[in-house]
Amino acid sequence: RHLMTHTSGLPDMLPNNIELRQAHAPLAEFYRQMFELDLDFAPGTHLQYQSCGTAMLAVIVERLSGMSLPDFLHTELFVPLGMKDTALGVRDLPQERIAHVNVGDDMRGADWGWNTPYWWNLGVPWGGMFSTVSDMARCCQMFLNGGELEGVRILSPATVAAMTRDQTSAMPLLPPEERHRQAWGLGWRQMPTLAWAYGGNLLTPGSYGHGGATGTVVWVDPVQEVVCVLFTNEPAVKSERLLGQVSNLVMAAVG
């Protein structure tokens, strides 16, 4: 639960994340070094976004299932949902269809950045998935439907309810100011929130979503029965406000 609510105490990234990418390190080396990290704080005492926690969850899934995470997601999620253009790591997807990110000077021309075969094939569980708007809409619709799509059940209604409800506001050791600024379900961010502008400020309480570093966002409003998927190729630090404005336009049109 702490891993899925960003309250585990793990940092977001390894301190030498860039150096590992520059050296074209395999994913196993990222994992190995994450296992040796000291916690930034005791679990449950602070809320801090942590990609390292997502990596730990990936290893847990692999060990319990006996499958690689890309294979597990392909078999258990993407194929049953009809997500034909989605994969963790580029795998068999046509590379000519990959939208290049408008990277800054730090990545432009580098052989380790978002627009390189190294990154495309690395398949990091904290930001290495490739998909389309229509595929992601199918995934979001499955959550809106309580875990099923077109007669195929992926998750139980109880699992969906646990993933999409506020799991952090009742954590007794979290500082009140952190609980007030943002709340998390299991993997899903609760929306709207003071700490996250991607979803705008018109979503119904109980909505949930997530954003991506390359300028993407998905959200689900279960009261209005709306799912929204927005993809850009502008990094989130530049596109967050725009994504929030578009999200508000969507809600204004249907509300």
174 and 242, same domain (yes or no): yes
pLDDT, position 109:
87
> Of 130, 147, 182, which residue constitutes the final position of a domain?
130
List, in sequence order, every residue forming a beta bridge with 129; answer none if it has no partner: 88
Tokens of 244: 């929030």
With a CB cutoff of 8 Å and minimum separation 6, the contacts of 213 are 127, 235, 236
Query: What tens digit of pLDDT does each residue of 73-95 get?
Result: 999 999 999 999 999 999 999 99
14 and 1 co-located in one domain: yes
Q: Among residues 130, 161, 176, which one ends one of the domains?
A: 130
219 CB-near residues (< 8 Å, 6+ apart): 140, 191, 198, 199, 203, 207, 208, 209, 210, 227, 228, 247
Q: What is the pLDDT of residues 187-217, one digit of tens each?
A: 999 997 766 788 999 999 999 999 999 999 9
Per-residue pLDDT, 70: 98
The CATH code of the domain that includes 72 is: 3.40.710.10
Number of Cβ atoms within 10 Å of the Cβ of 249: 12
Reported as a single tens digit per residue, the pLDDT across 106-134 is: 888 899 999 999 999 999 999 999 999 99
Rounded distance, CA 4 to CA 214, Å? Answer: 21
Question: What average pLDDT does this structure show over 57-78?
Answer: 98
Domain closes at, from 101, 130, 159: 130
State yes or no: pLDDT of 221 exceeds 70: yes
Tell whether 75 and 35 lie within a shared domain.
yes
Residue 11 and residue 100 in one domain: yes
Residues 180 and 240 in one domain: yes
Three-state DSSP state, 17: helix
CA distances from 243 to 35, 68, 69, 85, 138 (A): 35, 33, 29, 23, 20
Residues 147 and 229 in one domain: yes
Instruction: Say yes or no: 149 and 53 in one domain.
Output: no
Number of domains the chain is built from: 2
Largest pairwise CA distance in the chain: 49
Report whether pLDDT(255) > 80: no
Supply the pLDDT for residue 195. 67
Lowest mean pLDDT: which of 52-66, 96-110, 135-149?
96-110
- What digits encode the pLDDT tens for the residues 3-47? 999 999 999 999 999 999 999 999 999 999 999 999 999 999 999
Pairwise CA distance, residues 103 & 111, whole Å? 13
Whether residue 126 is found in the same domain as residue 149: no
pLDDT at res. 193: 77
pLDDT digits (tens, 9 = 90+) for 166-187: 999 999 999 999 988 899 999 9
How far from chain centre, in Å, is Cα 75?
19
| pLDDT score for 187 | 97
Pair 126, 17 in one domain: yes
Domain co-membership, 83 together with 151: no
Query: The domain containing residue 254 runs over which residues?
Result: 132-255
pLDDT above 70 covers a percentage of the chain that reads: 99
Same structural domain for residues 93 and 154? no
pLDDT of residue 247: 96
Examine the domain organization and report whether 120 and 44 are in the same domain: yes
- Residue 99 pairs in a beta bridge with none
